Structure 1
């Protein structure tokens, strides 16, 4: 009997929602508030960086407060803007709702702070996300496997019973390091092929039967490796 699909673990930024324009606008707004120089090129270069990295750069350029203060301020600005509405990535919301309708557990695994994650969860119709692991919940962020390991433990499922949905090389490495099969829809940067990674153009092309088939392939590969077939 094949292992069932028990959980889907979604990344947020660039995967579930198209949030990068919001992040760029929020960073620019906070920079103006602090009277520091922050160009459009600076914003683009900061895409994908950990909160602590770009916040430290704000402080280095003269922003008032600690690195954590600036990170909190930028995150609050993003959450405020997302509370006005979320731009979902094609097919992402539909896949999330299909999973919840069939009783598949869902998790949001994001390096954005919890306030942002909770704001996005509030925009999803009905029940969404049994578990949230946010950037301020972990000491080691993606590409370390810690965020996904924490989510799996909270859901009570094994890696072989779940699939991660990601958009970046860093995110995919994090999920796969936790033992997960990963579906990747690249957003702002290319993602290289890997044995346990399925790269596709859009989540509109992904449904639950496809994800269950991916898990079956994973189990078959494991059985061949163990010499059980």
Structure 2
């Protein structure tokens, strides 16, 4: 088996965190609950059920699934309307597709958000997505990355995961993947990373593909 490429979505491929934060604030105002900037920052990289439950604790009467579906659906529509690509991400995905490198999307977001990303990506770049709806335990548990690696038929120790959050970094490394950490959210990875980069624009595709072996 050979290695594969494993891409997180929010903060790695696209700059959608501000969209999530905005839609959470809109939702909170509609339901007349407090939702601060600190709350928004706290959600980054966390399973969606965590922030949905916090909203319910503050007075939202909808069930957890409906809270998630409402906010996630609004973000998915925004991404479909205009993809907020981060520097270098679209160009790298185009090279991945052209080279036929096995790659997948691994995200704590919903299946709707993952599908919007798959539709936006160059054809053949991302073979499938593993979303929160596909696993019992989201990041930081290793299950999402382990599932993606297994479905790709790849060797975990030869695969490279691109992550920008602490929970994502822990998930990828716990699954046995090599970590290339992006500093879009944090100044450094909370777990050892093979490389630390600012954005995917800092990645040389030829060097990356050679590193897969």
Question: Does the C-alpha gap of structure 1 residues 193 and 41 become closer, same or farther in structure 2, counting only changes over 3 Å?
Answer: closer
Match of 1:203 among 192, 200, 203: 200
**2:31 — aligned with what?**
34
Match of 1:133 among 130, 133, 136: 130
Match of 1:46 among 43, 46, 64: 43
Question: Does the C-alpha gap of structure 1 residues 194 and 25 become closer, same or farther in structure 2, counting only changes over 3 Å?
Answer: closer
1:42-70 deviations in whole A, cap 9, x for unaligned?
32333232211110111111112112221
Aligned 8 A contact 1:140 1:146 in 2: yes
For 2:209 and 2:161, how far apart are their aligned partners in 1? Answer: 12
Greater RCO structure (CA 8 Å; 6+ sep): 2
**Which one has a bigger Cα radius of gyration?**
1
TM-score (norm 1): 0.85
**Greater CA drift, 202-211 or 75-84:** 202-211
Structure 2: give runs of 5+ residues left out of the alignment: none
Aligned 8 A contact 1:142 1:174 in 2: yes
User: Structure 1 residue 213: deviation in Å?
Assistant: 4.5
User: Structure 1 residue 181: deviation in Å?
Assistant: 1.2
Deviating above 4 A after TM superposition, structure 1's stretches of 4 or more consecutive aligned residues are: 193-196
**1:69 — aligned with what?**
66
**Residue 89 (structure 1) aligned with residue 86 (structure 2):** yes
Question: Does the C-alpha gap of structure 1 residues 20 and 195 become closer, same or farther in structure 2, counting only changes over 3 Å?
Answer: closer
**1:147 — aligned with what?**
144
Match of 1:172 among 155, 169, 194: 169
Structure 1: give runs of 5+ residues left out of the alignment: 217-229
Aligned 8 A contact 1:159 1:179 in 2: yes
User: How many pairs were matched up?
Assistant: 213
Aligned 8 A contact 1:133 1:147 in 2: yes
Aligned 8 A contact 1:145 1:177 in 2: yes
1:131-187 deviations in whole A, cap 9, x for unaligned?
210012111111211101100111111113421111122212211111111211111
CA RMSD of aligned residues (A): 1.9
Question: Does the C-alpha gap of structure 1 residues 212 and 125 become closer, same or farther in structure 2, counting only changes over 3 Å?
Answer: closer
Question: Does the C-alpha gap of structure 1 residues 24 and 194 become closer, same or farther in structure 2, counting only changes over 3 Å?
Answer: closer
